[in-house]
Structure 1
């Protein structure tokens, strides 16, 4: 990832342009080639118009002097040039829209493909990732069009500046050189001024993100209850206003300094053009040039100054899309942490899981797991319990290979043929896992699409998943599997418990040999929880099942219970064995049992259900 505070230099922008042009060409070669040709043709039109103007003025002067001049041909040439300019402008706009559509689609596909390739969660911990992906996602819909427009009109500007400067050769071979030399310092300063906008945008991306976040909190429905209950709206408005004004003040000060710095170079450019005009007028008085040459100098100088100003603005404006594409290329080429091996080993037939001295720490955080050694035979149902921060969910993430261990290794298969998880094809490994997460995704699709998640539809399996998860109770005359969910698209909304049943249906629909349940019933009432765990118990038969939970009543379905604390495995056994041991598990069990008042001994009742 690129640094958010660094301004891209000219060399870096040129490298980005060289890397981007082949992509642009491949996305639509014929249209792109036609656009570039049209841009060059348009660039010649100002010079043609200037020359026609000179010839017309000289022709009128000659006519007044009694010479024979075909003014009709000159008028026709002028009209033809004007018509050609209009036609090429319209055709350029049409072709530019076509090319931009194809290129935008191409860029979006590359972005999505790259996100698919980033198979772990490690890169998501990088704060710079959020800044970069914010810029990339926000610009994907218009930056390709920006760049294409800049290239086309930049090419037109270069052709126009060269051709207009070339018309001054009529006055003298040295004239274009003097004029351009007088304007180049101003051109350079203008480019620096225009680049200022992108510099400030990049440097203030985190602040812009903060303002956008404040706006989302004020406007989005998921924050609405707290915003209204605690009267947050005025606070959010004040914060957004304060941060926006601070950014604008910085931007305004920089712009003012930049404009004042342009004044000396504007004066130099004006001095050169005024001097040339005085020279040509003197030449005309001496009879060395005609009135048309004076008109040529006036129009050519004005046109050249305008073209160079537009060109400097265009080149500097190109900083924005090119810098965006620089971030895109860096994002596309940055190595991901968790990856499938180039030559994966065959998937073991036995699904046993073995952890050997596994330790893990999140980015810039103390270790979440310490020297964990554990063996889970295939087909065993294992409950993992412990207080918050014990490392339970981290263990699940390592088994899903969202992260790789900092130390140690995870092996798959029986003792005779164990394979390091990192040597297996990641997609094949995850294809054999079904999971219900506590923070499951709530896709604003139909109920059916939320269950299938892109898998091939199977009516029998779908019906079994709906019935087994309890989701059938959510369906009625007005809500079917084809009902759209989410307010963003005018769909219906589900309660927390209904969403959790939907997430459970996803896991039930998938054919998997490893089932992971990470607090799967946190949003369910006791009756619904009992129904779901009854389904899980049936589903777990023949599968390796890991159940992460705080509610110890649900661990009774497990063959074995692992107790974790501060990233370490401190107890391992059955429910009865751990109660008899009188350790951490027994203490947690008794604490939860007290929440339901006096009654049978803790080992004789389920504290999850009163």
Structure 2
């Protein structure tokens, strides 16, 4: 019982916290515009009450011949309220548009800043968080506008309703209570099924993402050639349609159940309104009731019934928006995915860095139980969860879905691994795909927390070193490097943005990566836009890889890390660049991951990684003499260059 109580309290608190966060964002976007909005809402809420009372006075004035002039005055007031509402709505539309646009900038800026402050990679690589990130990116463009419109409509309706309730309560408090209670089930049902629909969208985000991916393949430029060459249009279209067939079956069941209950509660609400009309008409013979009073109360009952149903809908939609904004709240208040020191230690001007891994064990923290996640994130009744689970299982069986590889993997990626790199030493790491080579680099760059052991740089625990300083001392070329649709100058300078205007530094980096011949052929040299997105020059994979290498040369780093630095280069281009390997890494420590043994041979020492452990280490000749794992891989690759079966290690 205590657990259920805690979950219910959390279920109430979270939307309020989210609403507070979104409200602060909107206020920060435009305080004056917000004040104007509040004034407009007060006018819109008060206008119906003025019109009801003016109608009563006009009718009473017409019935009593002596008060015709009095009726005309109220007619002018009534007409004035219509004009005022018309003007206010026009101004409100303009204010909402301006506030929505400014709010979108504020929300996106805060969101980007929140992402930038996440020091590690878990939020970007964990499938669960990746689904949320995709959803957040989509919502950030329209959520502020929806929040402003729906929330303002709800507040206006509530303020207007309060006045109408007071009018009816003055006539009969019991009638006011009956009318409100008759509409309460409609509000409850509408909110309940909105919540179920929200859970559906959240739980099936991976399926939607797969459908979006199939659509992207069909419409994307990069995949267009293969789609046409291999006739893949119908294949990916079938994937797209199959995903949505499963999604539709779940949504249909929710909507059918929602429609049934909505009809029943709508009937109850209509019956309550009919009862109110009947009771007022039964009082029409009372001497205390004028014709204008009857008109006033009949109009009030109609407005109350309409307002209650609108509030039920607007309230449910508002809660829906608040639920959607919950991911904003989670990311804005997310705990750091790696531990940062309060007062980070400095590496100083250390020159080439020393690196040590000591009994390091690591596994990716991607396995969160779906049932536990649902229990913690939402308070949905068991019947609804059973329905969603049953439909999900049916959809998975129908399409023969399998868990993602990360979910199936339960072992350690790195298992008590130990090695050291001396200052200025050049080491290469080789091993089969999945042996943990790139994971080593991720841990060294502090993208993840390792589970056991120690990683030290210059004898200092990397968890105690200032994170930004640690990363500034590294120049890294990742296997999946960035391809920025900017000018060539910017693409090189992102390695060290403060050197953007340093022409000599840029030219030296370009020369080291053998980019000079390419630059000379470009129409605008370094200022040439790269990539087709904005009509720029489309570079080949090898040319992009040279740019990534040039970025690493922009930094005066004590540690150079190259993860597959020649993967997209042909053999001659690789030779041209790496014959200068020793010169452009002089005075630096180098850690290089590569499958190409022509590159690996240039290292002082080679580590062979297998199943998350160091299987062998030594120079190229030493490892060849051992006739072990390295020797086997080297010979297999040598055969591929001799025209035999191509084998990748």
TM-score, with length taken from structure 2: 0.85
Quick check: 2:59–2:71 contact (8 Å CA) kept in 1? no
Q: Tell me the alpha carbon deviations over residues 482-520 of structure 1, each in whole angstroms, 9 at most, x when there is no partner.
A: 222233333331111111111111112222111111111
Tell me how far apart the structure 1 counterparts of residues 147 and 598 of structure 2 sit (CA, whole Å): 60
CA distance in 2, matches of 1:591, 1:67: 107
Name 1:463's counterpart in structure 2: 507
Seen in structure 2, the aligned counterparts of structure 1 residues 92 and 504 have a Cα distance that, compared at 3 Å, is same
Q: State the 1:195 CA deviation.
A: 4.1
Residue range with higher mean Cα deviation, 208-217 or 487-496? 487-496
Q: 2:578 aligns with which of 523, 533, 540?
A: 533
C-alpha displacement of 1:302: 2.0
Task: For 2:522 and 2:615, locate their aligned partners in 1 and report how far apart those are by CA, in whole Å.
Answer: 51
Q: Distance in 2 between matches of 1:482 and 1:154?
A: 52
CA contact (8 A) 1:339 1:426 kept: no
Partner of 2:271: 271
Change beyond 3 A, Cα 1:201–1:370: closer
Residue matched to 1:436: 477
Structure 2 equivalent of residue 88 of structure 1: 88
Q: Hey, what does 1:31 align to over in structure 2?
A: 33
Q: Does 1:191 align with 2:183?
A: no
- In structure 2, how many angstroms separate the alpha carbons of the residues matched to 1:577 and 1:198? 61
> Aligned-pair distance for 1:45?
0.9
Indicate conservation of the 8 Å contact 2:58/2:72, yes or no. Answer: no
The answer to whether the 8 Å contact 1:579/1:585 transfers is: yes
Match of 2:326 in 1: 326
Matching of residue 422 in structure 1 with residue 458 in structure 2: no
Equivalences for residues 41-440 of structure 1 within 5 A: 41-63=43-65, 66-67=66-67, 69-169=69-169, 171-347=171-347, 349=350, 351-363=353-365, 364-413=409-458, 418-440=459-481
Q: Is the 8 A contact 2:346 2:469 kept in 1?
A: no
1:566-581 mapped onto 2 (5 Å cutoff): 566-581=611-626
The secondary structure found in structure 1 opposite 2:536 is coil
Q: Secondary structure at the match of 2:429?
A: strand
Contact 2:197–2:254 (8 Å) recurs in 1: no
What whole-Å deviation, never above 9, does each CA across 1:252-298 have from its counterpart, x for those lacking one?
A: 33223222223333333333332332333333234432222232233
Match of 1:601 in 2: none
Q: 2-side partners of 1:531 and 1:572: how far apart?
A: 27
In structure 1, how many angstroms separate the alpha carbons of the residues matched to 2:478 and 2:206?
Answer: 30
The question of whether the paired residues in 1 share the 8 Å contact of 2:475 and 2:552 is answered with yes
Aligned to 2:562: 517
Instruction: Give, in whole Å, the separation in 2 of the partners of 1:452 and 1:410.
Output: 30
* 1:462 positional shift: 0.4
Q: Residues 579 and 277 of structure 1: is their aligned pair in 2 closer, same or farther, counting only changes over 3 Å?
A: closer
SS in 1 for 2:284: helix
The 8 Å contact of residues 36 and 155 in structure 1, kept in 2 or not, is answered as no
Aligned residue among 511, 516, 531 for 1:472: 516
CA distance in 2, matches of 1:365, 1:59: 83
Pair 1:297–1:334, CA change in 2 (3 A): same
CA contact (8 A) 1:122 1:338 kept: no
Distance 2:36 2:411 in 1: 58
Are 2:605 and 2:620, in contact at CA under 8 Å, matched by a contact in 1? yes
Post-superposition CA distance 1:322-351 (Å, at most 9, x none) = 012211111222223224311111215262
**Following the alignment from structure 2 to structure 1, what is the Cα–Cα distance between the partners of residues 574 and 280?**
94
In the alignment of these two chains, the number of paired residues is 588
CA deviations over 1:59-101 (Å, ceiling 9, x no partner): 11112xx445423311210121112112221222222223223
173-182 vs 528-537, which moves further: 173-182
Decide which of 511, 529, 553 is 1:508's aligned counterpart. 553
8 A contact 2:560–2:590 mirrored in 1? yes
CA deviation profile, 1:144-188 (whole Å, cap 9, x unmatched): 121122221111000111112233356445443333233333333
Cα distance, 1:399–1:14 mapped onto 2, change above 3 Å: closer
Give a deviation string over 1:368-425, Cα, whole Å, max 9, x none.
2232222211111112223333332222222222223322111121xxxx21111111
8 Å CA contact 1:198–1:319 kept in 2: the answer is no
Out of 487-496 and 515-524, give the one that drifted further.
487-496
Contact 1:380 1:544 in 2 (8 A): yes
Please give the root-mean-square deviation of Cα atoms over the aligned residues, in Å.
2.5
Q: 1:320 to 1:536 in 2, by over 3 A?
A: farther
Deviates most, 330-339 or 169-178: 169-178
Which structure's CA Rg is the greater one?
1
Report SS of the residue matched to 1:341.
coil
Q: Distance in 2 between matches of 1:533 and 1:410?
A: 29
Q: Give 3-state SS (helix, strand or coil) of 1:119's partner.
A: coil
Q: TM-score, normalised by structure 1?
A: 0.90
1:428-467 CA-to-partner distances (Å, cap 9, x unmatched) read 1111111222221212222221111160211101011112
| Paired residues of 1:194 and 1:313 also in contact (CA < 8 A) | no
Query: Which blocks of at least 5 consecutive residues in structure 2 are unaligned?
Result: 1-6, 366-408
Q: Greater CA deviation, 343-352 or 132-141?
A: 343-352
Alignment CA distance shift 1:305-1:535 (3 Å): farther
Tell me the equivalent position of 1:593. 638
| Residues 1:128 and 1:584: Cα distance change in structure 2 (over 3 Å) | closer
SS, match of residue 70 in structure 1: helix
Q: CA deviation at 1:543?
A: 0.5
Where 1:142 maps in the other structure, the secondary structure is helix
